[in-house]
Amino acid sequence: MSDPARVQRALDLKAALDAGALDEAGRLELERALREDPGCRAAVADDALLDRLLHLHALGADGEDVVRGVRLRREADADGVRFVAAVRTRRARRRRRRTALVVGAMVAMAAGLAAAIVLGLGRGEERRAAAILVAAASSSIDGAAVTAGGGDLAIGSTLTTAASGSAEVRLADGSTITVAGGTRLRLDAPAPGPALWLDHGQITCDVRPQERDRPFVVASTFGRATVVGTRFDLAVADTMVLEVASGVVRLTDGAGAGRDVAAGGRGEVGTGAPSPQPPPAVPLPSAVWTPSAVWGEAIVRYEFRDGAGDRVADQSTRGAPLDLRVTRPGTVRWLPGTGLALSGMGGLASAAPAAKVADACQASGEIAVVVGITPDAATLSGTPKDYPKRIVGVTAGLDERGFVLGQGLFNDPSGLFDLRLRTMASTAKGKPSVVTVAAHAAPRRMTVAVTRDRTGRCAFLVDGEPVAVQTVADDTDARTSRSPPAETVVTAGAIGRWGAGMPLIVGAELAGDASGTRAWSGVLHVVAVFSRVPTAAKLRELHRDAMR
């Protein structure tokens, strides 16, 4: 029988351990009690068990998260096998039962002379961007009639089919898109997988298995469909309707709410008010800038639209302004009404320590970073040591930081976004990283937001939409150290242990090494750091605001 006083003493030591107040003598005493006294061992174990159950309860995941995660993983794994017969199967099925959908004012699909367009969408050596038109009629590309002899369909081109026409687009990986009559479809830059903008009309897609981090995306005014190898029909008229023949497609509306549509299922978005504008293919200059009031919650905020000279003012109203100055004047260029272009080794840094950022985030236990940027091709080139390229951070050089939002990893220069945040459980460099699963290699204007709340839950949003994330413990060994993709991940430890005196840096480290300053290259439009995670609605508002 255990002595109740000894059990109580063991629990008191456990409480001290939890509070980080257990000294070496206490540790040895608790170890001895656990080894020698079954009663102490049981009491401490029960306490630890309840601690874990409470943490699990607080994580807040429910059964549907597990069901959805398992489904998506299995679909992604299985589609490669299924596709081998998919084209033939689909054509046979089409003869038996046409499953295309017709909704609202959608123009009915009309038989017509098909145009087969072979194009490559992607990046790297294996997928050169190329488009070859092998047959055409009743279709036009960027307003020019397609000839029967064929032609090119380049990234950024818009394919339009006449009401009596149709077309077939064949991607280099074998995926096919059947374009119905009366359809207008734009081929956007890979982001990073094939990306289509469906202005109106109907397309039917047979999608080959995509790499998990390079999903096939079809977007419209009303929302987007994201798929990793499946077969589905999509129509846009007064709404966007998705009908899935096989696999699972994630359908997301303009407000960012998403759901999975499984084989045999049908989804519709845009039944409410549509999003006001499609995402622009190229940056749009802003004539009048009226910032959203949400920016006022930022602890630091920098607008780059109408700047000049070598200083950028902190427009936050919280604490003393933390102004930035250009570190290498020859490497930046102001683009009036648009932003600040960075190239070479240049960046910006605060002259004063970023104490107000460090203090606010460590006190609240939260952080959110929102940036409006246009990365350029140079950001996606370099040696492994050039990554991650710095967008914004609070750092003391390459080896110690409070946080840094970067792009690319040591072994993955694909354009994914990367958050390294110093916590009580992280390394001094802020590892493990939280990264976007998909790369964002398109040289287009975009908004990137990353958040971490007090429970350690991290999320990335690109253009106001949540994107899949995972942790990377060691970016030199990505094959084995990545967690499964998920909408959010939880990292350990409270935000803390940020060294004193670290400046805020934008675009590059203030001090680099022989391999450089990890300089990011592109155009900065807006950069803001928050010490409280804005709500999803506010993040979407910031995105809309940043894209104006």
CB proximity list for 169: less than 8 A, separation 6 or greater: 116, 117, 119, 153, 159, 176, 177, 178, 179, 185, 187
**SS3 call for 239:** coil
Segment near another protein (CB under 8 A); pick from 40-48, 349-357, 442-450, 531-539: 40-48
- Is position 39 an interface residue for another protein (rule: CB under 8 A)? no
- For residues 252 to 281, the per-residue mask of contacts with another protein, x marking binding by CB under 8 A and - elsewhere, is ----------xx------------------
Segment near another protein (CB under 8 A); pick from 27-35, 275-283, 289-297, 508-516: 27-35
**Smallest distance, another protein to C-beta of residue 306, A:** 39
DSSP annotation of 543: H
- Is position 1 an interface residue for another protein (rule: CB under 8 A)? no
Segment near another protein (CB under 8 A); pick from 61-69, 430-438, 505-513, 529-537: 61-69
The count of other CB atoms within 10 Å of the CB of residue 271 is 13
- The amino acid present at 110, given as its one-letter code, is A
- Is position 129 an interface residue for another protein (rule: CB under 8 A)? no
- Is position 385 an interface residue for another protein (rule: CB under 8 A)? no
Determine contact, residues 281/444, Cβ cutoff 8 Å.
yes
* Span 343-382, contacts to another protein by CB under 8 A: 365
* Rg, C-alpha atoms of the chain: 26
* Span 277-296, contacts to another protein by CB under 8 A: none
Number of residues that bind another protein (CB under 8 A): 60
Nearer to another protein, 3 or 46 (CB): 46
- Is position 212 an interface residue for another protein (rule: CB under 8 A)? no
Q: How far apart are CA 396 and CA 7, in angstroms?
A: 46
- Of the candidate residues 3, 4, 50, 477, the single one contacting another protein (CB under 8 A): 50
* Span 471-490, contacts to another protein by CB under 8 A: 483-484, 486, 489-490
Q: How far apart are CA 73 and CA 78, in angstroms?
A: 9
Q: How far apart are CA 137 and CA 142, in angstroms?
A: 14
- Of the candidate residues 285, 454, 511, 513, the single one contacting another protein (CB under 8 A): 454
- The amino acid present at 172, given as its one-letter code, is A
- Is position 85 an interface residue for another protein (rule: CB under 8 A)? no
Residue closest to 546 by CA, chosen among 522, 523, 525: 525
- Is position 42 an interface residue for another protein (rule: CB under 8 A)? yes
Alpha helical stretches, state H, 61-142: 63-83, 86-96
Nearer to another protein, 59 or 135 (CB): 59
- Is position 455 an interface residue for another protein (rule: CB under 8 A)? yes
- Is position 209 an interface residue for another protein (rule: CB under 8 A)? no
Q: How far apart are CA 427 and CA 400, in angstroms?
A: 9
Q: How far apart are CA 487 and CA 266, in angstroms?
A: 22
DSSP annotation of 329: G
Q: How far apart are CA 409 and CA 476, in angstroms?
A: 8
Determine contact, residues 305/339, Cβ cutoff 8 Å.
yes
- Is position 81 an interface residue for another protein (rule: CB under 8 A)? no
Nearer to another protein, 46 or 152 (CB): 46
- Give the binding site for another protein (CB under 8 A): 11-12, 14-21, 27, 30-31, 34-35, 41-42, 44-59, 61, 63-67, 69-71, 73-74, 77, 262-263, 365, 453-456, 483-484, 486, 489-492, 494
